[in-house]
Amino acid sequence: MSTVVLDHITKHYDQGKVLAVNDVSLQVGAGELFGLIGPDGAGKTSLFRILTTLLLPDKGQASVLGYDCVKDYRQIRNRIGYMPGKFSLYQDLTVKENLDFFATLFGSSINENYALIKDIYEQIKPFNDRRAGKLSGGMKQKLALCCALIHKPEVLFLDEPTTGVDVVSRKEFWQMLKNLKQQGITILVSTPYMDEAVLCEKIALIQGGNILSVDTPDGIRSKFPVPLYAIRSDNIYQLLTALRKEPGVDSSYAFGESIHITLNEQQTNMAAIQQSMVAKGHTQLSMEQIQPGIEDSFIRLMNQAQPAIAWQRK
Amino acid sequence: MSVLRYLLKKEFRQIFRDKTILAMMFAMPTVQLIILPLAMNFDVKQVNLAVVDNDHSSYSRQMVNTIGASGYFRMVAAAPSFPAALQYIEREKADLVLEIPAGFERNLVREGQQKVGISIDAINGTKAAIGGNYLLTAITDFNKDLPVNTAARLSPAAGGIDLTWSNWYNPLAIYKFYVVPAVLVLLLTLIGGFMSALNIVREKEVGTIEQINVTPIRKWEFILGKLIPFWLMGLIVFTLGLLVAWGVYGIWPVGSFALLYLFAAIYLVALLGFGLLVSTYTSNQLQAMFVAFFFMMIFMLMSGLFTSVDSMPPWARLIAHLTPITHFIKVMRMIVLKGSGFADVQREFGYLVVFALILNGWAILNYRKTS
């Protein structure tokens, strides 16, 4: 039995004018660290709010720990921890007061589940008497995680926990999630950062309210159907414009310092492309076949899905 | 229960931590209760009078002197002609023009009657009516003491009804006695209404309500946790207001304090229900502020604070009766000035209980943890 089940969930906003979630079905197993990866506006937060009983779906069923998200919301609220994307603790209460407050709301206390939050709480303990509004971004996020964990939830929902946090804190945060997973907590985390996807056990790529693919990060990468090449020159911008005009090139996009391309037909080979580029005056060309990353997969899936989504929007 | 206790603790902590709001909550009623009733004085003094004396007789001079001695008027000009005097009204230098025609004294003595002209600037209706009245009284006084009339009074059986009167509950008819209890209610309304509406909306705006909503906390616990602190603050503000009324204006309630506080307590419940209701319909503090302000203006102007509810047109009277503040102002005046007992105000009590039930019930129905 899966811990979190989404069954054909659809949600509209503004009386049906805006489609936020489109017929999403998804399952998260017990003890999994599951990532919901997608750009802003993909529908991640809507899904989270449905699962945390804050939002009613228009169609479909959702359940957490076997409890229905609409009917058994009370049981769910006792058993989950939710950390909204926006910092939503009381800024005018101190660190300790916030923790105390949320512990009390769940009929618990800081001491009762101290073991669970110990590693995280130790880091913010020196600021116990500082108001939450005066904490730095990373500290706020740690406090929010503590507050979401204080009642020992069985499922943890983290909505974009690392948005707006520095690289070091992000790394630390993911380490914390791994530790929590060790304790048997099922974790659902959403993020717009592709580089965080590989840190999850399983990921779902989501775009425009549609799930594009659900798999392990390796699974998603290995499903990339065609060879992927990275190409560089001393003038990336001109090279990109030229590649986009090249008939043999299927897709091309700038990726860091190089351009990732896939080819149209199998018979076109990279040598031909390279010759063509050299003929057009591009210098210092280098080219190699590379392993596709999550982002490459995502971009490919997104481009394939785009016409379909556009059609559904009508 | 421990949850509710902790909610209250948290709420008070937040209230006491925001020093500006706290200061406003107590300084605003104190300062305004001291300033507003003094300024809101409908006793008209200092009516500016321009006189056109076309007679220049001893009688006309006597009449002008009598008017001047009444203490209500300030002579701003003695104009040579009526058009010249009217200029003073146009330039807002004078409120009234008194025109004494030529032959004033002669006609009075010979024919026993004479007319004078009074022109009143009626832009400020109250001042015009009261000022005109004063002038008439002053002229009547002068008239009474004319030799023709004093002679007449000596003759027996002059007849006529002699009036004496007394003002009950406010013997000197002092305006501030009428206004202070009402202003106190008004300030209580402003503080209670705005504070409760804004506080809950703030939780929405900041997003903390999201975090609260995923907890197993019950709806009634959350709402009570919000209402009780403001209810207590309201009663403290009310007490403070009564103290100011006593200290500054010497108004000590004639009626029972228990009854006064009973009404204040029920009224605050109704008012906080209103605030809660506004907060359930709005999503940020600016919206809540405007919606609350819209109703507060109606409450204020229709409540009988400035104008008597009984003299409003029927539709306006209906609106006035549909606002809780009207009833509380009425009761405040009755208990504070008149010493009314519960039997006298039980209808108003019923009204306020109904308001409290409807507003709170509506608000609770409309408050959703899930959208």
What separation in angstroms does the CA of A222 have from each of A207, A293, A299, B5?
20, 9, 15, 56
Instruction: Collect all residues of chain B within an 8 Å Cβ-Cβ radius of residue A86.
Output: 207, 210
Q: Do B210 and A78 touch (CB under 8 A)?
A: no
CB pairs under 8 A between A and B: 70
Start-end of CATH 3.40.1710.10 domains in chain B: 47-152
Task: Give me the CATH topology for the region B47-152.
Answer: abc type-2 transporter like fold (3.40.1710)
H/E element holding B79? strand B73-79
Average pLDDT value over all residues in chain B: 86
CA dihedral A235, A237, A239, A245 (to 10 degrees): -160
Q: How far apart are the first and last CA of chain A?
A: 37
Q: Is the dihedral of CA B221, B19, B298, B320 positive or negative?
A: positive
Query: What is the tens place of the pLDDT at every residue in A99-152?
Result: 999 999 888 888 888 888 888 899 888 999 999 989 888 888 889 999 999 999
User: pLDDT band at A225, cuts 50/70/90?
Assistant: confident
- Residue A54 is nearest to which of B3, B217, B371, comparing CB atoms? B371
Q: Do B6 and A101 touch (CB under 8 A)?
A: yes
Q: Do B215 and A77 touch (CB under 8 A)?
A: yes
In angstroms, the separation between the Cα of residue B204 and the nearest Cα of chain A is 10
**Structure ipTM:** 0.76
Is the full-model pTM beyond 0.95?
A: no
Q: Do B207 and A90 touch (CB under 8 A)?
A: no
Q: Do A73 and B6 touch (CB under 8 A)?
A: no
Query: What is the tens place of the pLDDT at every residue in B124-137?
Result: 777 788 888 888 88
Least confident of A184-188, A267-271, B354-358: A267-271
Please compute the mean of the pLDDT values over residues A174-183 and round it to a whole number: 90
Question: Which has more pLDDT, B308 or A11?
Answer: A11
Q: Which CATH class, in words, describes the domain spanning A225-291?
A: alpha beta
Instruction: Collect all residues of chain B within an 8 Å Cβ-Cβ radius of residue A73.
Output: 370
Instruction: Report how far residue A248's alpha carbon sits from residue A246's, in angstroms, rounded to the nearest whole number.
Output: 6
Report the chain A residue with the minimal C-alpha distance to residue B4: A105
Task: Give me the CATH topology for the region A2-216.
Answer: Rossmann fold (3.40.50)
Mutate to test the interface with A, among B214, B218, B368 (most CBs of A within 10 A): B214
Mutate to test the interface with A, among B20, B202, B215 (most CBs of A within 10 A): B215
User: Domain locations in chain A?
Assistant: 2-216, 225-291
Q: Is the dihedral of CA A216, A219, A224, A228 positive or negative?
A: positive
User: pLDDT band at A313, cuts 50/70/90?
Assistant: very low
In angstroms, the separation between the Cα of residue A49 and the nearest Cα of chain B is 9
Range of A206-220, A262-276, B212-226, B346-360 with top mean pLDDT:
B346-360
Report the chain B residue with the minimal C-alpha distance to residue A54: B370
